[in-house]
Structures are given as structure tokens and as C-alpha cells.
């Protein structure tokens, strides 16, 4: 707040001084007697100050940009009509280019490199000490022909030759560092990542142009030893003015862009608060940040890796063409945004991601993790059921191949013994006949036992024959339209046990069963006129283990089993 | 009568062979797995092959698959499948393509040599035989709808006995009916099942098939 007040006060005062000076001696002013040129000159300086004040960039950049704008206004002060401002004009007239270059190098939260510091040191020294204060110490304007000029209050000793030498050297150095800075800016722009360039270009390019034009003016006045207002000077000055206006526009545009992004993210947060679209955050961020390949991943609580917005397991890419930005909270990785390299070098994007999208990320992460946990629970339940089924099948096989075969063999052996003994010992034959009958009954019982474990016909022939076999054992089961299609073993098992277990809970009377495939699901339905009693929790477990659902009414139960093949 | 025995349990195979030989059958071969069975049938041409449904290599329904293969290769050779499975579906698989000269009995009949001998002879004569336990369960089953709804209870009873492989005379004895009445029932059944006049034996087989299909 204080900064703004100070900046505006100084800027407005400087603008007033500039206008007064230019109006007092139009022939000595760069703006000449054109009111339009003067308005443009003042406007360019004030625009720089205004955008600097309104910008959300770091303080260093904003102060330098505002200072550059104010220094620009002092460009008219080293003229005869300047009055009290004359001395300040002598010192400051060349200050704006290094200030602007400095601001431009800091733009986009950049840090100065060692080469930047060296360049800026040369620029500041040249503009403020050689061309500015240094010359002012030895310049007495009146003996040099400017009889109307106000007194130079910094004058130590009038040394016209030294002033001319300092002016020539200072201007050539100014031309040199300006060209260097412009070249440096161009290299930075061409080697930057696309995201970085998008941020830098609107400010760095016009700033480089403004500084280069200053260099051109310095070169033009080099031989003369001072900057003047001849036609070439004026043309270059007018171009500078336009470039400065563009710098201001670039800074303002960045501010608008950041605000638009913030608005979009704010909308997203509101949207997420209303409904909860899975994966919607990814689409929104991809749109907002202009990276269609962007992915959003979330860390699972149990350090069990990453999941996507839908809770499906995912991996962080190890690909040089992808960059991963991790979102931390309390030192823990919560989410990761996978994007093209350099996207988050754009400080506005990174800041928005950390601020506005944080809530949305956290919201989606919780949902994704919940879905992942549900899925792993379901998978584990499925494995338990599958293991149990495998055990049942193995038991069933053992009964058939072991016990039943033995009993059948024994029955044959007893019959052979009976043939040999029958005529000799009728009583023994009778006992053996009873034993044989007992073996036959045992075989029938073993068969039912094995069938109860898991019917072999289910695995061999499928759901329809298995349900028909169930109807043979429970005659009240009426088999309606049951599809003869085959399904995966877990689906067939779940459907069969659903029918068998539901049947046990039906009251007396007929029970109708039907099963059909529809839209990638197997729909199995039981209808009992006498009603269905008892809890359905174990049925739900069995059906849920393969990802199915169960609905029950007083007279019917229905299972839906996913069976995508 | 020349028979061949296929069962992976050697003791049972040998015991069954002795029982059948005592009953007047000529056992022309014994084997313990499906591949050997097919080779032996090709080489020795029995009149009927007695086949256990579960045999190596897979111990699931290899015997049944081999039996179906025998029916395709040698339509004149009969097959009697002995099975642990009560499900009519397996019998259906055996009878569906060629219903003549085929039988499906439960494994516990293996020591009941009278039943076995009767079944083998009927199969040799071109009939099909289905285990009475399976047939009686089919009779008890409630049906959603089907061609058998047209039949009266009495006709359905007669059809069940035909399926078990009983002759007209035997059906008459079992149900205390005169041969003429039995014949009248049977022609009613044929008509209702839309079986046109032809070789009587063939129509009986087709009626049994219709019966199994409806199950």
C-alpha cells in the first residue's frame, strides 16, 4: 500500500515536472511542440508505473519497473527550461535503460545469473556514474553555450574536454551493453521451453527493443559526446516510447492471464463442490494449462503406489518427455501432475496449482483412493471365493476318482465272491448281497455329497445343465429361459450358488428361475410365489465377489453379474 | 456277444470282465484310457464298448468324448457309458447325434450283472437305454413348458418306461395293462410328439430323445 502510494506520488510529480519543462521550452524537448508526442511520452512512463503497481510479480521486478518508468520521465529534464530539476536531469537521463533491463531479467521470478549481474553492473555504472553523475561533476553548461541553462548544483570543476571524453566513452559503452542485452534476451527467448517463452515473450521482447533503441541513439550521438534531439534522435526516441508502451502491455496481459486461470480454477473448485466428476479434474487442468497430455495421479495412503482419478492403479512415467510435479502437504506426497516439460516453469501456473487446485486435487484424491480401496477389497473377496471354489472342485474330483472308484471296485469284487459262494452257502450270499447293496447306497450318497460341494456338470457343461440338475434334485424348481451360453468359471459359480442358496430360502411351492445375458451382464432371477425369507447377506457376498449386485423383493431375488467377454 | 471294457481302475476292469464272461459275453479287450479305447475299438471291432465316463488323460468327461467319437466312426458299434453323473445332460450328449445303440447307466449298476447284461443286449439290438434313476427324476421335474405337456400322466409313465429300455410286453407287465392298451398309449405318444410312422424301433428311440430334450 505504502509502496503504491509512494510510486504514484513520485510518478505523478515527475510527470508534472516533465510536462512543465517540455511546455516551457518545446524546441529543446524531445517531444518538441507536439502535444500528442508529449502526452505519449508521459503516458508511456505512467503506464510502466501503473502496470508495475498492479502486477502480482515479485517486489524487485515491480520496484525496478516503476523506477524505470519514472526515470524515463526525467529524460526531458536536462534542458534549459528545467529549473530546479536540471541537476536531477543531468544525473538521471540515462537511468531508465539499465533499470528496465534489470527488471526484464528478473521477470517471471527469474534469478540473476552471474553474467546478468556483470552486464547490469556495467550498465548501471555507465548510465549513472559515467553519463550521469560523473559528467555532471565537470559540466558547466553556460560557458558551453547554454546561456539559459539553470545552474548545475553538482559542479565541482568545469572541465569541457573531460565531459566530452566521458560523454563519448559513456555512449559507446552504452551502445555496447545495450546490444549485448538485446542479444542475450533473444537467446533466452529462442532457447526457452514453450511455456517459459509464452510467459517471457510479451515483456522481454519489447524491453530488449527499447534498450536496443537506446543503444542506437547512443551510437548515433557517440561521436558528438552527448544525446540531442535531432531528427534521428527523435525518431529513435519515438520508437522507444512505443516499445515501452508494449512492455507495459505485456506486464498487464500476464496479469490478465493469471486472473483468467484463477477464475477457471475457481469454477472448477465450485464445480467439484457441487458434483464429483471422476477424472474431471484432469480434463479441467489440461484445458486450463493448455497441455492435453496432462495426467493427474494420487498417492495411496498405504504407500501402495499411485492411482488415477478413477482409482485405477497407475505408474509415474519415467520418460524424458514427461515431467512430474508433486503436490506435497505436511511433507507427504499427495498428488502428482504429469505434464510436458517446462509447463510449470510458468510461475503463474505453479502458483495456481498450489493454491486453487489444491482443494480440488485433495477432493479428487480422497475419492480416487476410496475407489482403489473398494476395488482391492472386491478383488480380495473374489480371490477368497475363487480359492474356495478351487478347493471344492479338488475335493469333488478326489471323491470321484478315489472313494467312488474304490467302492465300485469293491461292489464288483463282492459280486464275484457271491458267484463262487452262492450255491455253497446261501446265508453268506445273503449277507454279501446286503453288503453289495450297502456299497451301492454309499455310492449314491457319495455322488450327492460330491454334487453338493460343486456340481461337476457346472464346470463341464455350464450354468444351464447345472441348474437343470438342481431341478432334478429339487422338483419344485421350474427352469424357465436359462441361457445355454458359457461364462467365466467365477461367474458361473456365483450364478449357480445364487440359485441354489436362494432356492433353499424360498417358501413351499414352485420357484421359477431364469437367466439371460444383457448388456455385458448375466441377469439371474428367482421368483417364489410363497415368498423368500431370511437374510441375503451371504448371497450379496457371493455375488459381490465377482462385482455383481443383488436386489431382493418379497417374492423375487435378482442377481446382476458382470460378464464382459 | 463281443464287448470291450474301458475303465482306468484295473481291478474293476478285470472284475467286470469276469462277471460278463460268466454271463456269456466275450470280452475282446480291456483298456484304461480314452486313446487306447479308440485304438482298440478300431482294431477289434466289438459289438458294444463299455466306457467309464472319467478316464485319463483329463479325468473329466474323456470317456464320454471317446464314446461320441466311436459313434461317429463306427455307427454299428454300440456304446454303454457308465457314469458318476446323474445329470440328464450327459446322457443327452451321448444320444443326441445318433440315438441308436447307445446307453447311459450310473456307475453303481456295475456289479448288477443282470441289469448290465440286459442293457448290453438291448443296445446290441439297436435300442437306447437310459438309467431308470435318471428317467424317474425327469418324470418328477416341473417343467416351464414343452412338447411333453400334451401327454397325459399315463402316457408320460409309458414314455418313461420306454426310455428305461423296456419292451411293450415288459411295460404291460409293469403297469398291469394289456399289450393292446400299451400299443394304444404308444401310438398316442408318437402322434403327440409328431413322430411320423416308420420303423417302430427308430420311433421309440426318437420318443426317448424328445423326452430327454424336454428335460
For residue A522, the domain's CATH number is 3.30.565.10
Strand A332-339, strand A295-299: pairing: antiparallel
Query: Do A236 and A253 sit in the same domain of this protein?
Result: yes
Task: Report yes or no on A531 lying in a domain.
Answer: yes
Domain end among B72, B103, B130: B130
Is some CB atom of chain B closer than 8 A to the CB atom of A338?
no
Instruction: Tell me which residues of chain B have a pLDDT lower than 70.
Output: 138-147, 196-203, 205-206, 212-215
The count of structural domains within chain A is 4
Task: Report yes or no on A267 lying in a domain.
Answer: no
Query: Do A521 and A471 sit in the same domain of this protein?
Result: yes
Least CB–CB distance from B12: residue in A400, A408, A461:
A408
Domain end among B130, B163, B192: B130
pLDDT digits (tens, 9 = 90+) for A306-316: 888 888 888 88
Rounded mean pLDDT of A56-74?
90
Task: Please indicate whether, in this complex, the C-beta atoms of A456 and B85 are within 8 angstroms of each other.
Answer: yes
From chain B, pick out residues whose CB is under 8 angstroms from the CB of A447: 84-86, 106
| A10 vs B198, residue with greater confidence | A10
Query: Do A390 and A525 sit in the same domain of this protein?
Result: no
Give A287-342 as a DSSP string: HHHT-TT-EEEEE-TTS--EE-TTS-EE-----TT-EEEEEEETTEEEEEEEE-TT
Query: Do B78 and B144 sit in the same domain of this protein?
Result: no
From chain A, pick out residues whose CB is under 8 angstroms from the CB of B90: 457, 461
**Which residues share a beta bridge with A314?**
A306
Chain A: residue whose CA lies nearest to B23: A419
From chain B, pick out residues whose CB is under 8 angstroms from the CB of A436: 111
Query: Do B143 and B120 sit in the same domain of this protein?
Result: no
Give dist(CA B185, CA B202) in Å, integer: 17
Query: Do A153 and A228 sit in the same domain of this protein?
Result: yes
What is the pLDDT, as a whole number, of residue A217?
Answer: 93
Query: Do B113 and B146 sit in the same domain of this protein?
Result: no
The CATH number assigned to the domain holding B161 equals: 1.10.10.10
Domain end among A453, A478, A496: A453
What is the pLDDT, as a whole number, of residue A284?
Answer: 76
Task: Report yes or no on A344 lying in a domain.
Answer: yes
| DSSP structure class, residue A403 | I
Query: Do A231 and A369 sit in the same domain of this protein?
Result: no
Cell of A294: 496432462
What is the pLDDT, as a whole number, of residue B139?
Answer: 65
Query: Do B111 and B170 sit in the same domain of this protein?
Result: no
Task: Report yes or no on A537 lying in a domain.
Answer: yes
Query: Do B35 and B73 sit in the same domain of this protein?
Result: yes
Cell of A83: 529549473
What is the pLDDT, as a whole number, of residue A273?
Answer: 54
* Residue labelled with grid coordinates 425369507: A533
Task: Please indicate whether, in this complex, the C-beta atoms of B143 and A436 are within 8 angstroms of each other.
Answer: no
Query: Do A448 and A469 sit in the same domain of this protein?
Result: no
Query: Do B24 and B74 sit in the same domain of this protein?
Result: yes
Chain A: residue whose CA lies nearest to B21: A416
Q: What percent of chain A has pLDDT over 90?
A: 33
User: Please, what sign has the CA dihedral across residues A83, A87, A88, A94?
Assistant: positive
For chain A, the farthest-separated pair of C-alpha atoms sits apart, in whole angstroms, at 162
Residue A294 pLDDT > 70 = yes
From chain A, pick out residues whose CB is under 8 angstroms from the CB of B81: none
Query: Do B74 and B22 sit in the same domain of this protein?
Result: yes
For chain B, the farthest-separated pair of C-alpha atoms sits apart, in whole angstroms, at 50
pLDDT digits (tens, 9 = 90+) for A343-386: 776 666 677 666 667 777 788 888 888 888 888 888 888 888 88
**What are phi and psi for residue A312, nearest 5 degrees?**
-85, 145
Local confidence band at A270 (pLDDT 50, 70, 90 cut-offs):
low
Query: Do B99 and B167 sit in the same domain of this protein?
Result: no
Rounded mean pLDDT of A191-203?
83
Least CB–CB distance from B89: residue in A465, A475, A478:
A465
From chain A, pick out residues whose CB is under 8 angstroms from the CB of B110: 408, 411-412
Is some CB atom of chain B closer than 8 A to the CB atom of A433?
no
Query: Do A413 and A492 sit in the same domain of this protein?
Result: no
Query: Do B21 and B87 sit in the same domain of this protein?
Result: yes
pLDDT digits (tens, 9 = 90+) for A75-100: 888 887 777 888 888 888 899 999 99
Domain end among B77, B104, B130: B130
Query: Do A108 and A188 sit in the same domain of this protein?
Result: yes
Domain end among A325, A358, A377: A377
Local confidence band at A69 (pLDDT 50, 70, 90 cut-offs):
very high
DSSP-based three-state secondary structure for A306 = strand
Query: Do A147 and A248 sit in the same domain of this protein?
Result: yes
Q: What is the mean pLDDT of chain A?
A: 86
Query: Do A390 and A503 sit in the same domain of this protein?
Result: no
Residues 6+ away with beta carbon under 8 Å from A417: A432
Query: Do B153 and B140 sit in the same domain of this protein?
Result: yes
* Residue labelled with grid coordinates 530546479: A84
Q: Can you give the residue range of the structural domain that contains A371?
A: 277-377
Residue A434 pLDDT > 70 = yes
Give dist(CA B145, CA B10) in Å, integer: 45
What is the pLDDT, as a whole number, of residue A299?
Answer: 86
Domain end among A315, A345, A377: A377
What is the pLDDT, as a whole number, of residue A271?
Answer: 61
Query: Do B86 and B102 sit in the same domain of this protein?
Result: yes
What is the pLDDT, as a whole number, of residue B57?
Answer: 85
**What are phi and psi for residue B143, nearest 5 degrees?**
-115, 145
Give dist(CA B189, CA A400) in Å, integer: 38
The count of structural domains within chain B is 2
Query: Do B117 and B29 sit in the same domain of this protein?
Result: yes
Compute CA B188 distance to the chain's CA centroid, rounded to the nearest angstrom.
Answer: 23
**What are phi and psi for residue A521, nearest 5 degrees?**
-130, 150
Query: Do A401 and A351 sit in the same domain of this protein?
Result: no
Task: Please indicate whether, in this complex, the C-beta atoms of B110 and A408 are within 8 angstroms of each other.
Answer: yes
What is the pLDDT, as a whole number, of residue B35?
Answer: 93
Local confidence band at A44 (pLDDT 50, 70, 90 cut-offs):
very high
Rounded mean pLDDT of A217-236?
87
What is the pLDDT, as a whole number, of residue A456?
Answer: 86
Query: Do A7 and A142 sit in the same domain of this protein?
Result: yes
The CATH number assigned to the domain holding B100 equals: 3.40.50.2300
Give A259-282 as a DSSP string: HHHHHHHHHHHHHHHH---TTHHH
Residue A276 pLDDT > 70 = no
pLDDT digits (tens, 9 = 90+) for A15-36: 999 998 888 888 888 888 888 8
What is the pLDDT, as a whole number, of residue A517?
Answer: 93
What is the pLDDT, as a whole number, of residue A12?
Answer: 92
What is the interface pTM, i.e. ipTM, of the complex?
0.80
pLDDT digits (tens, 9 = 90+) for A155-172: 888 888 888 898 999 999
What angle, 0 to 180 degrees and rounded to 10, lies between the N-to-C axes of helices A231-274 and A194-222?
170
Q: Can you give the residue range of the structural domain that contains B139?
A: 135-213
Give A505-551 as a DSSP string: HB-SS-EEEEEEEETTEEEEEEEETT-B-S--HHHHHHHHTTT-EEE
What is the pLDDT, as a whole number, of residue A123?
Answer: 94
Is some CB atom of chain A closer than 8 A to the CB atom of B213?
no
Amino acid at each position: 500500500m505504502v509502496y503504491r502510494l509512494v510510486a504514484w506520488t513520485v510518478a505523478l510529480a515527475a510527470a508534472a515536472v516533465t510536462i512543465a519543462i517540455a511546455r516551457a521550452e518545446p524546441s529543446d524537448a524531445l517531444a518538441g511542440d507536439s502535444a500528442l508526442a508529449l502526452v505519449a511520452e508521459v503516458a508511456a512512463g505512467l503506464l510502466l508505473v501503473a502496470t508495475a503497481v498492479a502486477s502480482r510479480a515479485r517486489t524487485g521486478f515491480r520496484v525496478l519497473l516503476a523506477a524505470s518508468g519514472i526515470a524515463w520521465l526525467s529524460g526531458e529534464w536536462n534542458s534549459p527550461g528545467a529549473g530546479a530539476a536540471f541537476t536531477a536531469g543531468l544525473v538521471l537521463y540515462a537511468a531508465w535503460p539499465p533499470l528496465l533491463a534489470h527488471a526484464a531479467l528478473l521477470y517471471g521470478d527469474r534469478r540473476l545469473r552471474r553474467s546478468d549481474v556483470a552486464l547490469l553492473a556495467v550498465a548501471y555504472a555507465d548510465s549513472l556514474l559515467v553519463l550521469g553523475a560523473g559528467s555532471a561533476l565537470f559540466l558547466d553548461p553556460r560557458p558551453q553555450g547554454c546561456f539559459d541553462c539553470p545552474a548545475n548544483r553538482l559542479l565541482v570543476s568545469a572541465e569541457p574536454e573531460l565531459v566530452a571524453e566521458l560523454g563519448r566513452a559513456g555512449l559507446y559503452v552504452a551502445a555496447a551493453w545495450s546490444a549485448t542485452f538485446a542479444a542475450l534476451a533473444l537467446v533466452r527467448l529462442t532457447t526457452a521451453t514453450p511455456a517459459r517463452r509464452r510467459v517471457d515473450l510479451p515483456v522481454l521482447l519489447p524491453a530488449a527493443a527499447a534498450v536496443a533503441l537506446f543503444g542506437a541513439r547512443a551510437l548515433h550521438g557517440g561521436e558528438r559526446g552527448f544525446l540531442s534531439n535531432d531528427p534521428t534522435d527523435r525518431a529513435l526516441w519515438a520508437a522507444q516510447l512505443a516499445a515501452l508502451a508494449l512492455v507495459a502491455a505485456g506486464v498487464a496481459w500476464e496479469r490478465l492471464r493469471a486472473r483468467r486461470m484463477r477464475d477457471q480454477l475457481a469454477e472448477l473448485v465450485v464445480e467439484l463442490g457441487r458434483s464429483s466428476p471422476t477424472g474431471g479434474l484432469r480434463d479441467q487442468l489440461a484445458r486450463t494449462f493448455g497441455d492435453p497430455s496432462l495426467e493427474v495421479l494420487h498417492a495411496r495412503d498405504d504407500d501402495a503406489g499411485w492411482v488415477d482419478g478413477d482409482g485405477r492403479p497407475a505408474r509415474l512415467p519415467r520418460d524424458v518427455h514427461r515431467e512430474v510435479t508433486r503436490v506435497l502437504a505436511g511433507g507427504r506426497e499427495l498428488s502428482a501432475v504429469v505434464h510436458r516439460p517446462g509447463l510449470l516453469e510458468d510461475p503463474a501456473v505453479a502458483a495456481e496449482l498450489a493454491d486453487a487446485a489444491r482443494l480440488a486435487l485433495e477432493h479428487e484424491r480422497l475419492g480416487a483412493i476410496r475407489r482403489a480401496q473398494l476395488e482391492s477389497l472386491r478383488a480380495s473377496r473374489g480371490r477368497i471365493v475363487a480359492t474356495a471354489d478351487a478347493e471344492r472342485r479338488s475335493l469333488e474330483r478326489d471323491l470321484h476318482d478315489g472313494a467312488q472308484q474304490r467302492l465300485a471296485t469293491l461292489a464288483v469284487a463282492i459280486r464275484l465272491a457271491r458267484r463262487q459262494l452262492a450255491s455253497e452257502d446261501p446265508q453268506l450270499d445273503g449277507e454279501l448281497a446286503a453288503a453289495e447293496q450297502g456299497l451301492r447306497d454309499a455310492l449314491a450318497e457319495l455322488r450327492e455329497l460330491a454334487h453338493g460341494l460343486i456340481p461337476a456338470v457346472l464346470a463341464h457343461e455350464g450354468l444351464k445343465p447345472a441348474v437343470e440338475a438342481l431341478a432334478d434334485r429339487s422338483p419344485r424348481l421350474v427352469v424357465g429361459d436359462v441361457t445355454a451360453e458359457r461364462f467365466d468359471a467365477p461367474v458361473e459359480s456365483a450364478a449357480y450358488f445364487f440359485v441354489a442358496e436362494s432356492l433353499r430360502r424360498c417358501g413351499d411351492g414352485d420357484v421359477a428361475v431364469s437367466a439371460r445375458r444383457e448388456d455385458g451382464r448375466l441377469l439371474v432371477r428367482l421368483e417364489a410365489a410363497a415368498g423368500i425369507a431370511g437374510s441375503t447377506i451371504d448371497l450379496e457376498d457371493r455375488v459381490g465377489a465377482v462385482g455383481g449386485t443383488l436386489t431382493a423383493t418379497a417374492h423375487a431375488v435378482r442377481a446382476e453379474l458382470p460378464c464382459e467377454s | 456277444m463281443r464287448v470291450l471294457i474301458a475303465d482306468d481302475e484295473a481291478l474293476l476292469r478285470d472284475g467286470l470282465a469276469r462277471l460278463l464272461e460268466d454271463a456269456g459275453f466275450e470280452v475282446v479287450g480291456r483298456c484304461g484310457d480314452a486313446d487306447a479305447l479308440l485304438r482298440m475299438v478300431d482294431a477289434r471291432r466289438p459289438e458294444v464298448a463299455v466306457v467309464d465316463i472319467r478316464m485319463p488323460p483329463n479325468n473329466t468327461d474323456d470317456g464320454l468324448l471317446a464314446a461320441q467319437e466311436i459313434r461317429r466312426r463306427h455307427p454299428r458299434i454300440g456304446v454303454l457309458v457308465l457314469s458318476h453323473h446323474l445329470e440328464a445332460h450327459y446322457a443327452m450328449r451321448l444320444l443326441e447325434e445318433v440315438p441308436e445303440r447307445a446307453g447311459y447307466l450310473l456307475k453303481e449298476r456295475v456289479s448288477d450283472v443282470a441289469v448290465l447284461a440286459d442293457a448290453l443286449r438291448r443296445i446290441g439290438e439297436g435300442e437306447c437305454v437310459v438309467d431308470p434313476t435318471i428317467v424317474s427324476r425327469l418324470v418328477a421335474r416341473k417343467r416351464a413348458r414343452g412338447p411333453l405337456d400334451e401327454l397325459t400322466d399315463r402316457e408320460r409313465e409309458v414314455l418313461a418306461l420306454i426310455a428305461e429300455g423296456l419292451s411293450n410286453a415288459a411295460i404291460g407287465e409293469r403297469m398291469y395293462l394289456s399289450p393292446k392298451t400299451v400299443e394304444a398309449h404308444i401310438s398316442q405318444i408318437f402322434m403327440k410328439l409328431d413322430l411320423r410312422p416308420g420303423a417302430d424301433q427308430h420311433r421309440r428311440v426318437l420318443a426317448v430323445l424328445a423326452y430327454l430334450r424336454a428335460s
